[in-house]
Amino acid sequence: MAEAVAFYICAALILGFGALVITAKSTVHSVLYLVADFLCVAALYVMLQAPFLAVIQVMVYAGGIVVLYLFVVMLVNLKRPPEAHSDPRRLGRLGVAMAAAVLVEFAAIFALGWAKPASAGGALSPNNVEQIGRALYTDYLIPFEVASVLLLVAMIGAIVLAKREL
Using CB under 8 A as the binding rule, the residues of this chain from 30 to 69 that contact another protein are 30-32, 34-35, 37-39, 41, 43-65, 67-69
Minimum CB–partner distance for residue 135 and another protein (Å): 5
Helix axes 2-23, 27-47, angle to 10 degrees: 160
Q: How many CB atoms lie within 10 A of CB 16?
A: 14
Q: Give the ranges where the chain is alpha helix by DSSP (H).
A: 2-23, 27-47, 51-56, 66-75, 92-111, 128-134, 141-163
Minimum CB–partner distance for residue 38 and another protein (Å): 7
Which of 101, 85, 82, 3 is closest to 44 using CA atoms? 3
Per CB under 8 A, 154 contacts another protein: yes
Site residues (CB under 8 A) for another protein, limited to 67-106? 67-79, 82-88, 90-91, 94-95, 98-99, 102, 105-106
Per CB under 8 A, 9 contacts another protein: no
Minimum CB–partner distance for residue 103 and another protein (Å): 9
Per CB under 8 A, 147 contacts another protein: yes
- The footprint of another protein on this chain (CB under 8 A) covers a number of residues equal to 123
Cα(151)–Cα(79) distance, rounded to whole angstroms?
Answer: 34
Minimum CB–partner distance for residue 88 and another protein (Å): 7
Cα(140)–Cα(143) distance, rounded to whole angstroms?
Answer: 6
Kindly write out the interface string for residues 107-136 of this chain, putting x where it contacts another protein by CB under 8 A and - elsewhere.
--x----xxxxxx--xxx-xxxxxxxxxxx
Per CB under 8 A, 13 contacts another protein: no
Which of 66, 79, 54 is closest to 129 using CA atoms? 54
Minimum CB–partner distance for residue 115 and another protein (Å): 4
Cα(156)–Cα(28) distance, rounded to whole angstroms?
Answer: 27
